[in-house]
Amino acid sequence: MSDRLLIRVAEGVRLHIRLTPKAAADKLDRIDRDAEGQLRLRATVTAIPENGKANAALIKLLSKKLRLPKSAIRLIAGDQNRNKTILFEGVPDELFDALDAKLRELGLMG
C-alpha cells in the first residue's frame, strides 16, 4: 500500500484507479482510500465492462483530462477488475510533476 497517489517507477509513473463502468458520465471523480489502504483515483465511464470497452474508455478519459497521448497510457493491472493500475510511460520526474500539476488543476489533489 502507498500513501501516494502517483508513484515514480523506472518506466514512468503509476496511478491506482477505482473504475465504475456504466455510469452517467465519463469523469475523474475524487481520491479515496480502498479497503486495503491504497489511495485510488475514482473514475467513472459510460462504457460497459465488456470486451475491454470500459478500459478503453478509461484510457481515453485519462488522455483527454491529463493531456497525454493514449499511446503513453497503459493498463498494467486490473484488466477485469474495478481496481486498476495505470502506467504513464515517460521520464519519471518530468511526468510526475506534470501529472501532479494537472490533477491539482482539476481539483483532485490538495
Between 20 and 108, name the one with better pLDDT. 20
Write down the pLDDT at residue 2. Answer: 62
In a domain, 72, yes or no: yes
pTM of the shown model = 0.92
In a domain, 110, yes or no: no
Query: Could you tell me if 61 and 28 are in contact, meaning their C-beta atoms sit under 8 angstroms apart?
Result: yes
Query: Could you tell me if 1 and 38 are in contact, meaning their C-beta atoms sit under 8 angstroms apart?
Result: yes
Q: Hey, what's the cell of 23?
A: 455510469
pLDDT (tens digit, 9 = 90+) per residue, 59-73? 999 999 999 999 999
In a domain, 62, yes or no: yes
Whose grid coordinates read 491504497? 38
Whose grid coordinates read 514512468? 12
Looking at the structure of the chain, the number of domains it has is: 1
User: If you average pLDDT over residues 48-56, what whole number do you get?
Assistant: 97
In a domain, 20, yes or no: yes
In a domain, 95, yes or no: yes
pLDDT (tens digit, 9 = 90+) per residue, 70-101? 999 999 999 999 999 999 999 889 999 999 99
Flag whether pLDDT at 1 surpasses 70: no
Flag whether pLDDT at 17 surpasses 60: yes
List the CATH number of the domain containing 76.
Answer: 3.30.1200.10
Mean pLDDT score of the chain:
93
